Amino acid sequence: MHSASRITRSVTRRSISSSLFLRSRNKIPSSAIRSLSSIHPTIVPFTSGDKLRARPRIASFSSAAIENDEPVDINHSTSSQSFEKILIANRGEIARRIIRTCKSLGIKTVAIYSTADSKSLHVQEADEAICVGPAASSDSYLSVPNIMKAIEQTNANAIHPGYGFLSENAEFAEHIEKVGKKFIGPSSSAIIAMGDKITSKHIASSAGVNIIPGFEGFVTSPEHAVKIAHQVGFPVMIKATSGGGGKGMRICYTDEEVKEGFSLSSAEAKKFFNDDRLFIEKYIEKPHHIEIQLLSGRNPETGELDILCFPERECSIQRRNQKVLEESPSTILKPETLKEMVRQVKMLVRDVEYESAGTVEFLVDEKQNFYFLEMNTRLQVEHPVTEMVSDGIDLVHGMIEVAAGKGIPREYMAKLGDQSGMSEEEKEGLSVPHHGYAIEARIYAEDPLRGFLPSTGPLNEYIEPNAGTEGDCTIRIDSGVAPGGIISQYYDPMISKLISHSSTDRNSAIDALKNAIDGYVISGVGNNTSFLTDVLRHDSFVAGDTPTNFIQTHYPEGFHGVALSSEEYAETAAMAVVANMIRSEVLQKPPAPMKVDEFDPFIVCLGGLFGKAYQVQGLEDALKVTSIDGEETHTVQLEEIDIDSRSPIVNVVVNDKKRVLQIEPEDSSGKFSIKYEGAQMDAIVMSPQEYELAKYMNEPTKIDTSNLILSPMPGTLISYSISDDAEVVEGQDICIVEAMKMQNVIRAPRSGRIKHLHSAVGASLMADEIIVEFVKDE
């Protein structure tokens, strides 16, 4: 392997000599592109230094900071110590996030873990770790007795609950208060007041906050739910009174959907919040989901309740009521609307006497009318968006200081600016001004091509994009996994949160996030990175047209992969040729066998041997890419290319665009995988002679599964709705499979008679395992 030396070859094209010298961010000479068939490149392997980027301002949030034990730099003093030891009653990325802030403050940490998480990163990074039970969250992370025992054994004097699990469990907070420990969050009474969605609506209304019309009481049965739905008027939203995260929620347009929604929502609510009470409210169509992050605490000098509101977050891109992308500032919110929302938030906070970080969520319609949705009495998943646009504020630090009785850090309150000369009304509408533009993408272990069903298993390959600042853009990664780690069926399928920030404009933040996602290598489990890229490049998203029905509107039949333009296919073909040649040189083999004439173009098949075929030929200063049928011709300017022979990541500047693609090594047949702009496909680079021979090959035969219902994901078979010999119609409920804390209804793909139920209720299913078999049609 010539990984450490320069390799050159004289290239003759009618007395033209050329060579290709490729190095990080070096431009490709135009002469090098003229004769692709004879390029012999110089290979310069990357060292770790080649991949380094300057760390972001909030450097403590980069995974590498902890792993390398580097000093952290966040905007608060580390000299004062609020607590000696904090137990983190959570797991994964949020546990790691809290550990980083504690470490910067000199506070020791205790991680809790289930038997399934014994080797997790948060366990390794904490000062102490203690097992709180078996894998099932109900017996570990949701077990109040087990966690209280861990608190006693480790002598922690404060507990941070993170988000999810017990973070909004008033009983847990009350237990902590009773034993003289500090719950880093609001009081148990505040959680009770705002944790129940019906009670919180009453409180919000009394405080003068706009609320959504609906039924003010609990729904007791499917029939009762139908009756209430007719009174409120379709469409309606069925919601669990406790919890959040999209669990126990259904949008319903018909009586049948209400009945099904009642059953599924109550079951989910019981399982995840131990509270199956439901209520119904009017569903507002095409709203924007906008929320106000707050931090409140008693001023230790005056005893007054200080309330700090931050720039709004837009969280409208949702799937199944679960947020997918979040950003700040909102693309639609007018300044006067924001000020009135902030005023109402402060009225609600004072009414509840709320102290800690919290979020008040609103729905905003097309006329800027806004309605209270709920208050989250915890740190939100999307809190990094706020931190990135708030000039270095650390919300976890703020929560710790408030819980310690120190109030909101003075330097945070100072971010409101000079308020002299302002009226009280003006002060009430005041929030921290936003600095730049931030967008967060949630990276999930799920298969978007299978209806976003959860995916579990080992992370065979896992490479995070570079965190840090380059130019006007910063990338931040909050993750909880490592290469070789396991995505378990027991917990939420979120792998990480990827956040971009631009100091200049929203489009730059979009572009930076898209490139970071394209450079995120995840194999072994399905993931939603291609879908995220597709949303980020969608014209409506770029234009800021992002109501909560965005996904339903633009993906009515689900996601079927990124549809590249003809120009992007040409770019993919061109980059496949050049990258394949460079990689081939590293392996000391010819880039394409059987080339007999240096003027012949390369042939590239995208999508495998029977996919789209292109010929790629060098020009004076570009690449000419022509579809094999001659109907399309594109000129591709490939200006820069960075390749690390040890990584699938390829950085390019193509047609004046800075882009990232992934190229996996080829297999024995010469086929390799390429991912560009979210579209992943197999590619084969060959000579024209090889392509002519390949035309005589037959396409592989596909296995007929039309008589089978297969499990779309690993999970547990909860129940059947049919039996052997039953006659079913297309769309009829067949069974329920539970995976990743969600119950998924499997429906009949066609009408027919059931021959056999292959799996027993309670069985653990693998992906594509047979559940039901139909009688074969004659």
Task: Check residue 244 and give its pLDDT.
Answer: 67
Arithmetic mean of pLDDT, 674-700 = 88
**In Å, what is the CA distance from 686 to each residue of 427, 543, 617, 619, 624?**
68, 41, 13, 19, 16
H/E stretch holding 773:
strand 770-774
Most confident of 464-478, 619-633, 680-694: 464-478
Looking at the fold, whether 687 and 585 belong to one and the same domain comes out as: yes
Which range among 43-47, 410-414, 773-777 shows the weakest confidence by mean pLDDT? 43-47
Distance CA 352, CA 334 (A): 27
Confidence label for 515 from pLDDT (cuts 50, 70 and 90): very high
Strand-pair partners of 443: 496
Task: Check residue 535 and give its pLDDT.
Answer: 98
Looking at the fold, whether 319 and 355 belong to one and the same domain comes out as: yes
Confidence label for 159 from pLDDT (cuts 50, 70 and 90): very high
Separation of CA 743 from chain center? 20
Looking at the fold, whether 547 and 619 belong to one and the same domain comes out as: no
Arithmetic mean of pLDDT, 496-510 = 98
Distance CA 109, CA 54 (A): 28
Looking at the fold, whether 419 and 478 belong to one and the same domain comes out as: no
Distance CA 533, CA 661 (A): 12
CB contact set of 578 (below 8 Å; sequence gap of 6+): 36, 623, 638, 641
Say how many C-beta atoms besides its own lie within 10 A of residue 169's C-beta: 23
Residue keyed to tokens 């631009």: 502
Q: Give the torsion through C-alpha atoms of 571, 577, 583, 585, to 10 deg.
A: -140
Largest CA distance in the chain: 88
Arithmetic mean of pLDDT, 675-681 = 95
Distance CA 411, CA 154 (A): 33
The crossing angle, in degrees rounded to 10, of helices 335-352 and 197-206 is 110
Arithmetic mean of pLDDT, 471-485 = 96
- Give the end-to-end CA distance of the chain in Å, rounded to a whole number: 60
Beta strands 521-523 and 461-463, pairing class = antiparallel
Q: Where are the beta strands (DSSP E) in 89-223?
A: 108-114, 128-133, 158-160, 182-183
Task: Check residue 77 and give its pLDDT.
Answer: 41
Task: Check residue 23 and give its pLDDT.
Answer: 30
Looking at the fold, whether 648 and 513 belong to one and the same domain comes out as: no
Distance CA 470, CA 462 (A): 23
Residue keyed to tokens 């992007």: 568
Arithmetic mean of pLDDT, 254-266 = 94
Choosing from 125, 361, 374, 428, the catalytic residue is 374
Catalytic status, residue 374: yes
Residue 598 burial by Cβ neighbours in a 10 Å radius (0-12, 13-18, 19+): middle
Looking at the fold, whether 362 and 447 belong to one and the same domain comes out as: no
| Token pair of 487 as six digits | 């995505």
Contacts 24+ apart (CB under 8 A), 766-769: 766/711, 766/714, 767/455, 767/711, 767/712, 767/713, 767/714, 768/710, 768/711, 768/712, 769/710, 769/711
CATH value at residue 715: 2.40.50.100
Say how many C-beta atoms besides its own lie within 10 A of residue 259's C-beta: 17
Residue 27 or residue 376, greater confidence: 376
Strand-pair partners of 688: none
Confidence label for 19 from pLDDT (cuts 50, 70 and 90): very low
Distance CA 184, CA 190 (A): 13
Is residue 3 included in any domain, yes or no?
no
Arithmetic mean of pLDDT, 368-386 = 97
Looking at the fold, whether 390 and 301 belong to one and the same domain comes out as: yes
Distance CA 133, CA 144 (A): 11
Cβ atoms of 34 and 18 within 8 Å: the answer is yes
Q: Determine phi and psi for 653, rounding to 5 degrees.
A: -120, 110
Looking at the fold, whether 230 and 302 belong to one and the same domain comes out as: no
Is residue 416 included in any domain, yes or no?
yes
Task: Check residue 587 and give its pLDDT.
Answer: 58
Checking if the pLDDT of 33 tops 60, the result is: no
Q: Where are the beta strands (DSSP E) in 472-611?
A: 473-479, 486-487, 494-502, 521-523, 602-606
Confidence label for 256 from pLDDT (cuts 50, 70 and 90): very high
Alpha helices in 44-120 (DSSP H): 63-67, 92-105
Q: How many distinct structural domains can be found in the chain? A: 6
Checking if the pLDDT of 692 tops 80, the result is: yes
Q: Which of 435, 460, 478 is the last residue of a domain?
A: 435
Looking at the fold, whether 540 and 505 belong to one and the same domain comes out as: yes
Task: Check residue 347 and give its pLDDT.
Answer: 98
Task: Check residue 214 and give its pLDDT.
Answer: 82
In single-letter form, the type of residue at position 142 comes to L
Q: Which of 92, 29, 437, 373 is nearest to 209 (CA)?
A: 373
Is residue 28 included in any domain, yes or no?
no
Is residue 12 included in any domain, yes or no?
no
User: HSE (CB half, 13 Å, CA atoms) of 62?
Assistant: 26
Residue 487, domain extent = 437-563
H/E stretch holding 745:
strand 742-747
CB contact set of 487 (below 8 Å; sequence gap of 6+): 445, 455, 456, 457, 458, 459, 481, 493, 495, 525
Task: Check residue 51 and give its pLDDT.
Answer: 29
Residue 618 or residue 659, greater confidence: 659
The crossing angle, in degrees rounded to 10, of helices 255-273 and 222-232 is 120
Looking at the fold, whether 234 and 176 belong to one and the same domain comes out as: no
Q: How many helices (H) and strands (E) does the chain have?
A: 21, 41
Distance CA 399, CA 377 (A): 12
Arithmetic mean of pLDDT, 549-558 = 95
Q: Give the torsion through C-alpha atoms of 353, 355, 357, 358, to 10 deg.
A: -20
CATH value at residue 639: 3.30.700
Checking if the pLDDT of 600 tops 70, the result is: no
Arithmetic mean of pLDDT, 642-655 = 89
Distance CA 218, CA 265 (A): 13
Q: Which of 176, 215, 212, 218 is nearest to 284 (CA)?
A: 212
Q: What is the pLDDT of residues 69-121, one digit of tens each?
A: 333 344 444 334 579 999 999 999 999 999 999 999 999 999 999 999 999 99
Say how many C-beta atoms besides its own lie within 10 A of residue 627's C-beta: 17
CATH value at residue 246: 3.30.1490.20
Q: What is the pTM of this model?
A: 0.81
Residue 282 burial by Cβ neighbours in a 10 Å radius (0-12, 13-18, 19+): middle
H/E stretch holding 429:
none
Checking if the pLDDT of 194 tops 90, the result is: yes
Is residue 21 included in any domain, yes or no?
no
Q: Which of 507, 297, 318 is nearest to 406 (CA)?
A: 297
* Mean per-residue pLDDT of the chain: 86
Residue 586 burial by Cβ neighbours in a 10 Å radius (0-12, 13-18, 19+): middle
Q: Which of 694, 718, 734 is the last residue of a domain?
A: 694
Arithmetic mean of pLDDT, 272-287 = 87
Task: Check residue 590 and give its pLDDT.
Answer: 53
Q: Which of 302, 399, 409 is nearest to 354 (CA)?
A: 399
Is residue 9 included in any domain, yes or no?
no
Is residue 57 included in any domain, yes or no?
no
Looking at the fold, whether 295 and 429 belong to one and the same domain comes out as: yes
Is residue 348 included in any domain, yes or no?
yes
Confidence label for 589 from pLDDT (cuts 50, 70 and 90): low
Checking if the pLDDT of 3 tops 90, the result is: no
Q: What is the pLDDT of residues 219-232, one digit of tens each?
A: 999 999 999 999 98
Sign (positive or negative) of CA dihedral 720, 726, 729, 730: positive
Distance CA 330, CA 693 (A): 56
Confidence label for 55 from pLDDT (cuts 50, 70 and 90): very low
Q: Which of 237, 258, 282 is the last residue of a domain?
A: 282
Looking at the fold, whether 369 and 309 belong to one and the same domain comes out as: yes
* Backbone conformation region of residue 588, classed left if phi is above 0, alpha if psi is from -120 to 50, else beta: left
DSSP class per residue in 213-248? -B--S-B-SHHHHHHHHHHH-SSEEEEESS--TTTT
Cα 439-442-444 angle, rounded to 5 deg = 160
